Structure 1
Amino acid sequence: MAIRLTTYEHAKDIPELPGTNVFHSTDLFRILEQTPGYRPVLLVAFEGDKPIGKLLCITRRNFRLLGFTEKTYVYGVGEYFNTERKREEIFNELLTYFTTLYKEGSFLLEFRNLEEPLFGYRYFRQNGYFPVRWLRVRNSIHHEQLDKWMSASRKRQIARGLKNGASIEIASSLEDIRAFFMMLKKYYSPKVHRYLPDFHLFAFFSEESFPAGMGKIFIVRYKEKIIGGSVCLFSDDTAYLMFSAGMRKSYPLLYPGVLAVWEAMTYAREHGYSHFEFIEAGLPFKKFSYRDFILRFGGKQLSTRRWFKVRWNWLNRLLIRIYV
């Protein structure tokens, strides 16, 4: 039986689907759909009337020197279920359709955070993508001692920060989330060089309709002022750190950035998650201060790759010659 693909552009049209991967979930689709600057599309593969795979595609509008451009990306390579077909066979259908759908409208297509670096290699190449080596940083948090592999200096910073009066909690009110967002916007984006979503995305964490097990915002306070925080999403047995920041220069003896990550790790451990992953570890051949910061929490560097395709054919061919 042939694989049939269906495209969903609105959350209200998506049927109930199996799956546990938050990065391909209807819940994440619904949040992105209501966040300015994002346009999600869910591709679903069917075998007859039975869903066997899904791929959440996220288009983001960027402003660059040449004007507004669009970038479409996917976390991982989709989610698959209810079939004896090989995952790569279904992925090939989804990838080919994804490429056809976006290659003209988006300047850059990207597949990031691949769990299996070699998954779908030949299908990416057949569709004109080029691979770039990337790094993941992943902590095992199921040991008896959460800080087993953590550096001694990092342990001292956590102890000093708490002793000097910093407190950590889960953000629940919209006011706290707004204060955290303003701090994040000021201290995070210029340092980590990553796009920061609109406030609407963070505001969803305070709504009653927000799925309890999907994610949390952790905040660090000192004398009622929010001086640090982090954002986590949870999927299967892993907690993913999406954003984190702290007012390190203003409060050097409180280590707010360190405490924000530590609280997220502690929460994940206490709620049964086995791994903690930092979602952005950067290129392996580029010095990256944020990667140095997160490695001191005791995680391991894992080599992976990201796949890219550029709209300009001449540039894409040049990059293929460089990276393949």
Structure 2
Amino acid sequence: MTQSHIIHTDFSKISAQQLKTLLRSPNANFFQTPKVADFFKTTGLEHFVFAIERDEEIMALISGIIQKEKGVKSSLTRRAIIFGGPVFSENATDEDITQVLEHTVKTLKKKAIYIELRNLNDYSKYKHLFEKCGFDYVPHLNFHLDCSDDQAMRKRMSSSKLRQVKKSLKTGAEIKEATHQDEITAYYNILHHLYTTKVKTPLPDLDFFMNMWKEKAAKFLLIHYQNEIIGGIVCPILENQVIYEWFVCGKDGQYKNVYPSILATWAAMEYASTHQIPRFDFMGAGKPDEDYGVRDFKSKFGGELVEHGRFLYVAQPLLYQLGKTAVKILKSTS
């Protein structure tokens, strides 16, 4: 690191004005903010942040968590996840970005089997710098939905999905923001069933969601019908810029003319339109070379299909391959 660079490993060392300036960058995202760091700390997860300062400006910031499964699986599942991807100032030089990437690798490679940056914005012009620092690009799709014009948003949506939204509301389903922890529990039970029976990937425990709600780290927009919660969506928000679909679920197919997962997705779109949030980010639509039913579902809401991919650094190749094999076996036998 050159003498002109300062590295920060705590958000408290970064001023509010420095953060405000950085978060005007095109690749800013909610998951690289102090609010998320504060929330993750309440969950007991190990959180990290690396920020490069030059000339009193934050030029690059990477923030994330170390995740691992409980019990014997922990040794095969230690990974560093950077949700959303890093934030780079428009004034950042190649040297600034290389510095933060090299520091990230140096610090995390003994703690994690791999480091994964789950990009929600376009980092294509920085790809050569990631590769220089040992990261591989992995194609991954997503949808970005323009919510700046309500009428245009409705027109882009498939007629069948819009019709199902209208039917659900006419039948008596309602969209309400969560106001009590019992509602979070009811929502989580639906989500847990979905992950256990269909998704078959690890899901954080109830305390994770309860802390998220208590810390106001995200909006919980829930679907109510006949005095019961039948679905919902968890939506973090980057103020005045983006609303995200982090977790969504519903008791689909159980009620005539009520489509809770569709209505939950609509709830986020409507919230964005009503609160002047210009973009809805679906946070992933699978790998382009693999069939993915969720991608088909998400495509019906009128968003633009984008490929911003992921960047992957494998620190321990043998354990990485063992872990991938173990996950495949777990999914096939569950």
Identity over aligned residues, as a percent?
25
Alpha-carbon spacing, 1:35–1:98, altered in 2? closer, same or farther (3 Å):
same
Cα distance, 1:31 vs structure 2: 0.4
What is residue 321 of structure 1 aligned with on the other side? none
* Counterparts of 2:188 and 2:244, CA distance in 1: 18
Match of 2:254 among 250, 257, 260: 250
Q: Which runs of 5+ in 1 are unaligned?
A: 318-324
1:277 — aligned with what? 281
Residue aligning to 2:116 = 110
Displacement of 1:295 in angstroms is: 0.8
Runs of 4+ in structure 1 displaced over 4 angstroms?
63-67, 313-317
Which range is displaced more, 283-292 or 297-306? 297-306
Pick aligned residue for 1:184 from 165, 181, 191: 191
> What amino acid sits opposite 1:44 in the alignment?
A
State whether residues 213 and 219 of structure 2, in contact with CA within 8 Å, keep that contact through their aligned partners in structure 1: no
Structure showing the higher helix proportion among its residues: 2
| Root-mean-square deviation (Å) | 2.5
Q: Decide which of 13, 26, 38 is 1:30's aligned counterpart.
A: 38
**CA-CA distance at 1:22 after TM superposition:** 1.9
Match of 2:207, SS state, is: helix
Alignment of 1:62-141 (within 5 A): 62=69, 67-68=74-75, 69-81=77-89, 84-86=91-93, 88-141=94-147
CA gap 1:316/1:177 in 2 versus in 1, 3 angstroms: closer
Report the equivalent of 1:56.
63
Give the deviation of 1:126 after TM superposition: 1.9
Structure 1 residue 200 and structure 2 residue 207: aligned? yes
Residues 90, 190 of structure 1: alpha-carbon distance in 2 compared, 3 angstrom cutoff: farther
Residue type at the aligned position of 1:246: G
Q: Verify: 1:42 aligned to 2:45, yes or no.
A: no
Look up the match of 2:181. Answer: 174
- Cα distance in 2 for partners of 1:22, 1:98 equals 20
Bigger fraction of residues in strand: 1
Q: Is the 8 A contact 1:141 1:274 kept in 2?
A: yes
1:149 shift after superposition: 0.8
Give deviations 1:198-254, integer Å, cap 9, x for gaps.
3233223543x53xxx53111011111111000111115111111100011323531
TM-score normalised over the length of structure 2: 0.83
SS of equivalent residue, structure 2 residue 124:
coil
CA-to-partner distance for each residue in 1:65-84, whole Å, 9 max, x for gaps?
85532110213442245x84
Contact 2:68-2:74 within 8 A present in 1 as well: no
